[in-house]
Structure 1
Amino acid sequence: MDSLGLEILRIAFPAALALAADPIASLIDTAFIGRIGPVELAAVGVSIAIFNQASRITIFPLVSITTSFVAEEDTLGKISPEAAKCEDLEKSRHKNNEMKELTTEDVVPENLEKGSNTSTCKSSSEIASKTENIEVKKGKRHIPSASTALILGSILGLLQAIFLVFGAKTLLRVMGVKHNSPMLKPALKYLTLRSLGAPAVLLSLAMQGIFRGFKDTKTPLYATVAGDLTNIILDPIFIFALRLGVSGAAIAHVLSQYLISVILLWRLMKQVNLLPPNMEDLQFGKFLKNGFLLLARVIAVTFCVTLAASMAARLGSTPMAAFQICLQVWMTSSLLADGLAVAGQAILACAFAEKDYRKVTAAASRVLQMSFVLGVGLAIVVGVGLYFGSGIFSKDASVLHLISIGVPFVAATQPINSIAFVFDGVNFGASDFAYTAYSMVLVAGASIAALFLLYKSNGFIGIWVALTIYMALRCLAGVWRMGTGTGPWRFLRNRSMP
């Protein structure tokens, strides 16, 4: 509970709640749809897997890059004016020294006489923390990365919507939903309607990346809660009262996403100049260079989960329904660790910009320690909760039996998942995008091979064993990078940055 711990918690707690809010809303969607029937539940599960895959491919690289770049620009923007003031102050002192012909002893501050290396000017980290509110009140911030992120988010959202609407049937077929499957019709309805919300989803996530760069995770939380509460209220109205079924669930979700976008845009316009003075200020080259690296990474990450969902769908509607419930719980609980990842990324990006490597080391160690504690707590809560509460999602005895088989995997992997997700945030904060991309491609290759082998021999259980292997390899990749002191972490080995 020292200053660093409190700073992490101030960022991580609202971020975790915001990240968990949407999966929780999806869980409530799943509970409502599960009341219609197992076929509809399985159909929606396949559609959500497709939509999430497309969204992560398009937005995850953008959000991750935006948070780091905005944090760096915002920090440097606060440091530069103070550095100029310090320089002017030193010049003024030097001039006064010449005029008054003071001795060296009169000029040197008392703390330097005692051998201290401190300066009369405040450190950049103190400047940033104490002047942040003043700078915001003086006027809107000029953050080129923010404008770039919004433009790219809008374009990617429109492209994703067009791709999903016109490619829905083909994508469902690839996922194992055949033309004569009872899942096809409800899955097609849900995916097509939900795709209309893609522009709002991508734009809102891009804005969340900007706010995270400002270390403001409360604003995205408020907006997300408002949108998800709207979704929860509209779900029973559209699904049951208006008898729209899975279409009603999709419509409710889309409306909630547009509400979130409007709230975030309204708040962002008060803080940032969204229109840059000229096009040269935009940083498309910088975004695209690192974006393609993370694009390869996110394809590798999500392909494993999507492939697992596809294999579960091939087992039939009952295994797919059970897998969907377990997967939603698995992802919802695991994403709580992303709150710590967001905090680590924002703090580390600022610390690297300030070249405060002592804080880099301390923050990275602290968030990893917190992630392990969180993972152990989640393992207990998720294991007990899902074992005794699976009846909330379905009344089908066969589905409940398969859920009970998946519970040990969902619960036991929580500590591994938490550490793996936080390592992602730590490496993103260090702008170590290349390593995260290359290592994840190797991890995905090994995991996909395990998935095919174990699926053929063990079916439903084999899928979950393969997903456990996948998360363990992700965790090991993060441990190796920091443990060997390579890349941006070489200062851990050399104690200084070249």
Structure 2
Amino acid sequence: MTQAPAASRSSRRRHDREIIALAVPAFGALVAEPLFVMVDSAIVGHLGTPQLAGLGVAAALLMTAVSVFVFLAYATTAAVARRVGAGDLSSAIRQGMDGIWLALLLGIAVVAFMFPAAPWLVEVFGASGTAAPHAITYLRISSLGIPAMLVVMAATGVLRGLQDTRTPLYVAIGGFAANGALNLGLVYGAGLGIAGSAWGTVFAQAGMATAYLVVVIRGARRHDASLRPDPAGIRASAQAGMPLLVRTLSLRAVLLIATAVAARLGDTSIAAHQIILSLWSLTAFALDAIAIAGQAIIGRCLGAGDPAGARAACRRMVEWGIASGVGLGVLIVLARPVFIPLFTSDPTVKEALLPALLLVAVIQPIAGVVFVLDGVLMGAGDGPYLAGAMLVTLMVFTPVALLVPPLGGDLTMLWWAMTLMMAVRMATLWLRARSGRWVVTGATR
């Protein structure tokens, strides 16, 4: 009678150790990414307001272009982890190289579009006449680093699939330090202004990509895996990533619609909304770290032909997601007297912000379940379902959100619509997890 509970406790402790070992470094690497833009903003801000405004426009365009291809990391993690679970490290690294080659090809294509289109993109984004020249300069130069950025994404997915989240953390820290030093030296030391900031970012990203490639190439040589581009493998990587691209675009559409609705509610509402989104992004890093651990662990279990282990890991990670969500919600409530004044001293913005912020705190446990199950299904390679579920969520959210201004709603009502969006996501993901249809074992899905 006592053996089963003891075995269960042992299994939970084992999963806990794995989750912590993968999630903590992943969280550090995730937090390091937005610090690139923060450092650039701090350094360029001292050049003048037009330069900083130009950086803001260019950075938003650049990050949008790059974030669309986040499937390079997600799909590669799942595919590599399955082969690791199956004990075929050579095939795992070969699969990872296909993802890296795909990233390089996509990066070249994006540069070929963005470099000549920079003036048009900046104009469409609404940059002022004084900010536009700086935005064009930064966007054109920094776009040259996009291939390296996408290679970093894909290579990060390779290492996550190999159950290694420490190396991405070390590379992210090194890239962050190099970016800061290069920006200071080129902007002020070399007198290149905003162009120096863009070149510093390009060189830092190229250094990160090189570091990743050194690690992957060493692994390929150790396990006798080919490094040559394989057209069939690259096509397979692209096909696996397409559903996740649809999912990502649908999620971006939700956020864009929410921001557009907030803007229609007035300057006070959009200001408060942006503050809430900044906090939402910060909590997302913590929850996404658990999801990344889920991708790696679930993929490995299914590749090893261990459906029971995959289900047990899924249950434990959901518990982690709920507990983390509760903790983050409490932290938001307790920290609000410190957090809000950092962003605004306007009493009308604070008044609009507070009810919606408390709602965000309440739904953090739901967010925890959503992030975790998203990671579980990604790790299982269940991309088509994720794409369909996110499209359903978008179709439910859009009319509800667009009705907020005509009905005389405020920012809190908009965030009730966001709460509905998260509830729909949780329902669709929970139903899939309960069905067990994601549990497909083998080195490939």
Deviation at 1:394, TM superposition (A): 6.7
1:381 aligns with 2:331: yes
Report the equivalent of 1:419: 369
Q: Deviations over 1:71-116 (max 9, x none)?
A: 12233235xxxxxxxxxxxxxxxxxxxxxxxxxxxxxxxxxxxxxx
1:302 aligns with 2:302: no
Deviation at 1:222, TM superposition (A): 0.3
1:475 aligns with 2:423: no
Report the equivalent of 1:61: 71
State the alpha-carbon separation in 1 of the partners of residues 272 and 44 from structure 2.
Answer: 13
Report the equivalent of 1:430: 380
- State whether residues 55 and 160 of structure 1, in contact with CA within 8 Å, keep that contact through their aligned partners in structure 2: no
Q: Tell me, which stretches of 5 or more residues in structure 2 are unaligned?
A: 1-11
Q: Deviations over 1:383-430 (max 9, x none)?
A: 544642455557788877776676435544433322212111100122
Q: Which has the larger radius of gyration?
A: 1
1:216 aligns with 2:164: yes
Secondary structure of the 2:87 match is helix
Deviation at 1:211, TM superposition (A): 0.2
Report the equivalent of 2:399: 449
Which amino acid counterpart does residue 438 of structure 1 have in structure 2? G
Deviation at 1:219, TM superposition (A): 0.4
Which amino acid counterpart does residue 212 of structure 2 have in structure 1? L
State the alpha-carbon separation in 2 of the partners of residues 309 and 366 from structure 1.
Answer: 34
State the alpha-carbon separation in 1 of the partners of residues 101 and 162 from structure 2.
Answer: 19
State the alpha-carbon separation in 1 of the partners of residues 253 and 230 from structure 2.
Answer: 36
Report the equivalent of 1:332: 282
Report the equivalent of 1:117: none
State the alpha-carbon separation in 1 of the partners of residues 130 and 346 from structure 2.
Answer: 17
Query: In the TM superposition, what are the counterparts of 1:192-271 in structure 2 within 5 Å?
Result: 192-233=140-181, 250-271=198-219
State the alpha-carbon separation in 1 of the partners of residues 100 and 66 from structure 2.
Answer: 15
Report the equivalent of 1:88: none
State the alpha-carbon separation in 2 of the partners of residues 423 and 323 from structure 1.
Answer: 26
- TM-score using structure 1 length: 0.73
Deviation at 1:217, TM superposition (A): 0.5
State the alpha-carbon separation in 2 of the partners of residues 41 and 465 from structure 1.
Answer: 34
Report the equivalent of 2:314: 364
Structure 1 residues 254 and 169: alpha-carbon distance in aligned structure 2, compared to 1, 3 A threshold: same
Deviation at 1:223, TM superposition (A): 0.1
Report which stretch shifted further, 240-249 or 146-155.
240-249
Deviation at 1:308, TM superposition (A): 3.7
Structure 1 residues 161 and 407: alpha-carbon distance in aligned structure 2, compared to 1, 3 A threshold: farther
Deviation at 1:329, TM superposition (A): 3.1
Which amino acid counterpart does residue 76 of structure 2 have in structure 1? T
Q: Deviations over 1:339-363 (max 9, x none)?
A: 2111111111111122212111110
Structure 1 residues 333 and 244: alpha-carbon distance in aligned structure 2, compared to 1, 3 A threshold: farther
- State whether residues 100 and 151 of structure 2, in contact with CA within 8 Å, keep that contact through their aligned partners in structure 1: yes
Secondary structure of the 1:215 match is coil
Deviation at 1:47, TM superposition (A): 4.3
1:73 aligns with 2:21: no
Structure 1 residues 173 and 378: alpha-carbon distance in aligned structure 2, compared to 1, 3 A threshold: farther
Deviation at 1:454, TM superposition (A): 2.4
Report which stretch shifted further, 67-76 or 355-364.
67-76
State the alpha-carbon separation in 2 of the partners of residues 339 and 3 from structure 1.
Answer: 18
The aligned length equals 427
State the alpha-carbon separation in 2 of the partners of residues 230 and 40 from structure 1.
Answer: 22
Which amino acid counterpart does residue 18 of structure 1 have in structure 2? A
Secondary structure of the 1:2 match is helix
State the alpha-carbon separation in 2 of the partners of residues 184 and 402 from structure 1.
Answer: 32
- State whether residues 424 and 478 of structure 1, in contact with CA within 8 Å, keep that contact through their aligned partners in structure 2: yes
- State whether residues 56 and 302 of structure 1, in contact with CA within 8 Å, keep that contact through their aligned partners in structure 2: no
Identity of matched residues, %:
28
Deviation at 1:254, TM superposition (A): 3.4
How large is the RMSD of aligned CA atoms in angstroms?
3.8
Q: Tell me, which stretches of 5 or more residues in structure 1 are unaligned?
A: 79-134, 492-498
Secondary structure of the 1:145 match is helix
Report which stretch shifted further, 187-196 or 327-336.
187-196
- State whether residues 334 and 414 of structure 1, in contact with CA within 8 Å, keep that contact through their aligned partners in structure 2: no
Please, which of 57, 62, 66 is the counterpart of residue 51 of structure 1?
62
Q: Deviations over 1:200-257 (max 9, x none)?
A: 1101010000001100010001000111233345566667788877666544443332
Deviation at 1:43, TM superposition (A): 6.2
- State whether residues 305 and 467 of structure 1, in contact with CA within 8 Å, keep that contact through their aligned partners in structure 2: no
- State whether residues 157 and 200 of structure 1, in contact with CA within 8 Å, keep that contact through their aligned partners in structure 2: yes
Which amino acid counterpart does residue 64 of structure 1 have in structure 2? Y
Secondary structure of the 1:143 match is helix
- State whether residues 367 and 422 of structure 1, in contact with CA within 8 Å, keep that contact through their aligned partners in structure 2: yes
Report which stretch shifted further, 267-276 or 353-362.
267-276
